[in-house]
Amino acid sequence: MSSAHESTVAAHGAGHRTGGDAPASRGKAPASAGTVHAGGARRQLPEILVGLCLIAAPFVLPYVGMSPDLLTRILIWGLFGLGFDLLFGYTGLLSFGQAAFYGTGGFVTAYLLTADLVPNMLVALLIGTVLASIAGLVIGYLTLRRTGIYFAMSTLAFGEMFYFLENSSFKEYTGGENGIAGVPPPHLSLGFVDFNISSGWPMYWFVAVFFFVGFLIARRIVRSPFGAVLKAIRGNPKRAMALGHSIQSYKLTVFVVAAAYGGLAGGLLGLFQSYMPPDAFALDTSAQLVIQTVMGGAGTLLGPLLGATIWLYLYEGLQQVGSLGPYWKLILGIVFVVLVTSFRHGVAGAILDFVRTRRGRLPADIDAGASAKVSSELAIVPPLESSRPGAPVLEARGISKQYGGLKAVSDVDFSLREGELHGVIGPNGAGKSTFFAMLAGELPTTAGKVYFRGQEITGIGVTAVCQLGMSKSYQINQLFEHLTVRQNVMIPVLARSRGRFRSDMLKGLHSDALDEQVNAAIALVGLSHHADTLVSEMSYGEKRRLEIGLALATGANVLLFDEPLAGLGPEERVLVVSLLKSIRKGRSMVIVEHDMDAMFELAERITVLYEGCKLAEGTPDEIRQDPSVQAAYLGGMDDHEFA
Amino acid sequence: MPSMSLFLSQLFNGLATGLLLALISTGLTIIYGTLGVINFAHGALFVVGGYAGYTVYSLTDSFVLAVAGGAAVALAAGLVMERGLMRKYYSRPPEDQILVTFGISIILVEIVRGIYGGVSLSVAPPGWGQGVAHIGSLIYPLYRLETLGIAAATLLLLYFVLYRTSLGLIVRAGIEDAQMVNALGVNIKRTFLLVFGLGAMAAGFAGVINSPIVALTPDMGFRYLVESFVVVVIGGVGSFPGAIIGGIIAGEILSLTAMVNPQYSDVMLFVAMALVLIFRPQGLMGQEGRE
């Protein structure tokens, strides 16, 4: 009875698939995937495969007992999960309140259609999605004020709030415990011809189109500059911030995107069942989403879909086995705990790992179009108003830091001249790190102010300081361990080219200008041969150089190095010292270091800190001869303390 | 306009609810404070305690034994959980810890459902808790008054353990700096096990005390989990005084709003949490910078 619709809708769906951004023809890609060069069809392989699977599913899966209704339900969960995976799998934000958006989208859409306020089904879906996004904006603003466990707890609590609201304040509209029944079946009008999409396979095709478009968009987001920053936030939020990204804006944006996916999926649920159930808002819904995503594999986009398949198929399967039916959730709980404990990346992760070990590497791992050839030098922020050599770039005036009764730094004056390499030394506990953190704008001062080219920067935060053109490398490596060297260096380069925040979710990541900058920075720190190696697989010395490389790649012309030689062996030490020498042109630097020999070799001027105060300042020769410095390092400071 | 006696009675109710919430939240907060883990199975342990108490109560007819039994079973469940799984998770990211405790909560709840079925079970208050109490002009259910006393006494006891014993000293030092405590030669593993057990026991204990007031269902734990989250977010995660103050505030909000419009009592609770998140994200008694 529905075969006519079926074929039209199917054709429509297929049109979307090939009409996307896949340049290659349908048949060619999978067969020749092994030989095609990186880029082109190969880069679109996941899109093509997913499209083909969606088309093939109705012809294959019924043979394993999957009904069209089951497949449609899986797709709705999969669509819901695409947004959640962007939030959790890619950005690392574990929310337990996604039901709030699923329910909002669902109930708004269902209400608009049943109350006949909006006759057009697509418009109703759109309004539902938009309202869910607005709810996401509000809840995201509140919950993202804290991270980690606070975020998980408060999203869960706000999710419950929506459930209570549905059952109380909005009862009149939502039907309270009864939900909204009688949602009209989807109806599409193309101007010249109308479709009524009936249940069964037509509904599958209808939802499959939404899923596929949602998947294409999610893939674009993951591979955009915006997506690269999300992954950096998951890996090391503090460093992402220090490299000039306003991570709070990114988190809030991706939270809203996830809410929109939830809202759309909820709207489709009401259309699919012609009924909107109140438990769409329940904690169980959020929990099911989390479990499905983790089982299927977070950070893969398709993990949630896979997880939903396992969940729903397992449920139906266990109901068949009479005695096991009541225990299906117990079995599920055990499977979940085992997966979390042993297979951290879920089923999809396990499959990807398998493919990786078989083939060496996935096409997605190789950033095509970014050849390791260095064709230009690493650009740096040009010094403002062609400042005179010798003019102060960075100045601290009488800065102090007090922690309770402890004075870590007291009344230190400091000035870095344009083009200078200035060393800061001092014995352990001299207050070097605190002093440095204040200098970098990381830490507010108790008294005194810090100026960068005449502008006050006292405690304005690392992101703002980085955007002004000053960057710091850390004593303990702060890298994005789960990314490759190239992906690491991309993060600061993006901050420089895009500013604190930009929502360029659909743009491609690579451009010649960006790739050149990335390659130049990698070449500068001598890691070109490792450009596509995961950072977690590199040696400590190489990581140490990458740490410096990240600061360099921001393009900052004022650099603060916190013990760049810490923990290095003699050979690596020589490498890093010569690296520091080679980058001096056009840059001003402050280096905190224990290694006195390196310091006397590198620095033009040296400041000595002792017990939070400035003990001496001068050229390396002057410092070497200074009796108070000698005394400080030999431990005989008693005279000076009383002096 | 609600009458004065109704207001007073609701104020009392709020205090009773609040101290019970404080008791549940204390378990959550000391586990977090010491181990850095948020136990999503806390609500499930509350349920396990409540049901175990029900069984002991129906076998022995003694409510005191029921409380002891419920607390003991929750303690045992907590110890097994820590030994069997949690220990492997201390070095993993907080998200993994949340996920695994959440998975355990499903298993615990489903075991309870498997044994007792899904229907709700009501528990009669003990003999010494039946009837009403007259406080001035106020008439108040006796058992509720007694829970108020029991919860307050238990919190005092916990305060004593945390602030006046050497275990408490270690726990509080562990909250400040677990590594340092370990370096000083304290067997931190043993302490972790004890604290985890203690937290689970607090949940189980509260589960039994609460059972004559609210009928038992396997899924009731999630509601208490959510409410104790609100309590610790308001009070500050990891802070013992924060859990008590947060508990009382939450209890009073629930109870006083219910007097005006019961539909809004839960919603107001979340509004209070939102206000705290906006104006004092670290919680009323929380310290800046602890995540």
CA of B129 vs chain A CAs: smallest distance (Å): 32
pLDDT of residue B135: 77
Query: Greater confidence, A174 or A269?
Result: A269
Report the SS3 class of residue A275: strand
Assess B114–A contact: CB distance below 8 Å, yes or no. Answer: yes
Q: Which of residues 20-59 of B touch A (CB under 8 A)?
A: 32, 38
d(CA A450, CA A448): 7
One-character DSSP codes across B208-249: HHHTTTS-B-TTHHHHHHHHHHHHHHHH-TT-HHHHHHHHHH
A357 contacts: CB under 8 Å, gap ≥ 6:
none
CA of A107 vs chain B CAs: smallest distance (Å): 19
CATH number for B4-279 (one of 3.30.1370, 1.10.3470, 3.40.190, 3.30.420): it is: 1.10.3470
Nearest to A423 by CA among A539, A560, A310: A560
Assess A147–B contact: CB distance below 8 Å, yes or no. Answer: yes
Nearest to B181 by CA among B191, B169, B173, B189: B173
Question: A558 - beta bridge partners?
Answer: A470, A588
Which residues from chain B sit within 8 angstroms of residue A160, using beta carbons? 226, 266, 270
Structure tokens at B27: 């378990």
pLDDT, tens digit (0-9, with 9 covering 90-100), for A478-493: 999 999 999 999 999 9
**H or E segment at A588?**
strand A588-592
Which residues from chain B sit within 8 angstroms of residue A290, using beta carbons? 99, 102
Nearest to A106 by CA among A279, A336, A263: A263
Which residues from chain A sit within 8 angstroms of residue B85, using beta carbons? 337, 341
Which residues from chain B sit within 8 angstroms of residue A283, using beta carbons? 222, 226
Give me the mean pLDDT over the A369-394 stretch: 61
Query: Greater confidence, A39 or A327?
Result: A327
Assess B264–A contact: CB distance below 8 Å, yes or no. Answer: yes
CA of A300 vs chain B CAs: smallest distance (Å): 17
Q: Which chain B residue has its CA at the smallest distance from A162's CA?
A: B267
Contact B291 A160 (CB under 8 A): no
Give me the mean pLDDT over the A82-95 stretch: 96
pLDDT of residue A33: 37
Give me the mean pLDDT over the A266-277 stretch: 96
Query: Greater confidence, A474 or A15?
Result: A474
**What is the percentage of chain A residues whose pLDDT exceeds 70?**
87
Question: A400 - beta bridge partners?
Answer: A447
CA of B134 vs chain A CAs: smallest distance (Å): 34
Q: Which chain B residue has its CA at the smallest distance from A345's CA?
A: B96
d(CA B132, CA A643): 77
Asked whether A368 and A399 are in contact (CB, 8 A), the reply is: no
pLDDT category at A342 given cuts 50, 70, 90 is confident
CA of A363 vs chain B CAs: smallest distance (Å): 29
Which residues from chain B sit within 8 angstroms of residue A332, using beta carbons? 106
pLDDT of residue A359: 66
d(CA B285, CA B243): 9
Asked whether A149 and B237 are in contact (CB, 8 A), the reply is: yes
d(CA A550, CA A567): 18
d(CA A561, CA A563): 6
Lowest mean pLDDT among A4-18, A208-222, A436-450: A4-18
Structure tokens at A604: 């033009």
pLDDT category at A353 given cuts 50, 70, 90 is confident
Which residues from chain A sit within 8 angstroms of residue B266, using beta carbons? 160-161, 164, 168
Which residues from chain A sit within 8 angstroms of residue B237, using beta carbons? 149-150, 153
DSSP at A187: E
pLDDT of residue A360: 60
Pairing of strands A613-618, A605-610: antiparallel
Nearest to A552 by CA among A541, A563, A560, A543: A560
Which residues from chain B sit within 8 angstroms of residue A150, using beta carbons? 233, 237, 281, 291
Locate the domains of chain B by residue range. 4-279
pLDDT of residue A345: 82
Residue A497 has a CB neighbour count (10 Å cut-off) of 14
Contact B99 A340 (CB under 8 A): yes
Q: How far is CA A622 from the centre of its chain?
A: 48
Cβ burial of B65 (10 Å; 0-12, 13-18, 19+) is: middle
Nearest to A267 by CA among A137, A119, A107: A107
d(CA B107, CA B112): 9
A349 contacts: CB under 8 Å, gap ≥ 6:
A297, A298, A299, A300, A303, A343
Assess B111–A contact: CB distance below 8 Å, yes or no. Answer: yes
| pLDDT exceeds cutoff 50 at A12 | no
Contact A94 B104 (CB under 8 A): no
Q: Calculate the average pLDDT of chain A.
A: 85
| pLDDT exceeds cutoff 70 at A380 | no
| pLDDT exceeds cutoff 60 at A640 | no
Q: Which chain B residue has its CA at the smallest distance from A95's CA?
A: B95
In b/e form, how buried is each residue of B80-109, taking b as 16+ CB within 10 angstroms? ebbeebbeebeeeebbbbbbbbbbbbbbbb
| pLDDT exceeds cutoff 60 at A25 | no
| pLDDT exceeds cutoff 50 at A38 | no
Pairing of strands A406-417, A421-425: unpaired
Q: Terminus-to-terminus CA distance in chain A, angstroms?
A: 101
Pairing of strands B132-135, B138-141: antiparallel
Q: Which chain A residue has its CA at the smallest distance from B100's CA?
A: A337
| pLDDT exceeds cutoff 80 at A88 | yes
Nearest to A488 by CA among A227, A231, A226: A231
Asked whether A551 and A472 are in contact (CB, 8 A), the reply is: yes
CATH topology (fold) of A391-642: Rossmann fold (3.40.50)
Interface test with B, best of A154, A292, A329, A331 (most B CBs within 10 A): A154
pLDDT of residue A94: 94
DSSP at A529: G
Q: What is the pTM of this model?
A: 0.88
Asked whether B56 and B207 are in contact (CB, 8 A), the reply is: no
Contact B85 A287 (CB under 8 A): no
pLDDT of residue B185: 75
Residue A430 has a CB neighbour count (10 Å cut-off) of 22
Which residues from chain B sit within 8 angstroms of residue A158, using beta carbons? 270, 273-274
A406-417 β-sheet, strand order:
A406-417, A392-403, A447-452, A455-456
CA of B214 vs chain A CAs: smallest distance (Å): 19
Interface test with A, best of B85, B92, B95 (most A CBs within 10 A): B95
Contact A333 B107 (CB under 8 A): yes
Nearest to A78 by CA among A269, A231, A250, A243: A269
Asked whether A276 and A106 are in contact (CB, 8 A), the reply is: yes
Size of interface A-B (CB pairs under 8 A): 111
Contact A160 B106 (CB under 8 A): no
Pairing of strands A470-473, A558-562: parallel
Lowest mean pLDDT among A274-288, A500-514, B106-120: A500-514
Assess B274–A contact: CB distance below 8 Å, yes or no. Answer: yes
pLDDT, tens digit (0-9, with 9 covering 90-100), for A508-524: 888 888 888 899 999 98
Give me the mean pLDDT over the A93-104 stretch: 96
A524 contacts: CB under 8 Å, gap ≥ 6:
A378, A549, A552, A579, A582, A583
CA of B80 vs chain A CAs: smallest distance (Å): 15
d(CA A263, CA A126): 9
Instruction: State residue A6 phi and psi, 5-degree precision.
Output: -55, -50
The partner residue sitting opposite B107, judged by closest CB among A150, A326, A337, is A337
What tens-digit pLDDT sequence spans chain B (291 residues)? 557 778 888 888 899 999 999 999 999 988 888 888 889 999 999 999 999 999 999 999 999 999 999 999 999 999 999 999 998 898 888 889 999 999 999 999 999 999 998 889 999 988 888 888 887 777 888 898 899 999 999 999 988 888 888 888 887 777 677 677 777 777 778 888 989 999 999 999 999 999 999 999 999 999 899 999 999 999 988 888 999 999 999 999 999 998 888 878 888 898 898 899 888 888 898 765 444
State the Cα torsion B38-B39-B40-B46 to the nearest 10°. -140
Q: Terminus-to-terminus CA distance in chain B, angstroms?
A: 44
Nearest to B42 by CA among B56, B53, B27: B27
Structure tokens at A273: 């069942």
Assess A149–B contact: CB distance below 8 Å, yes or no. Answer: yes
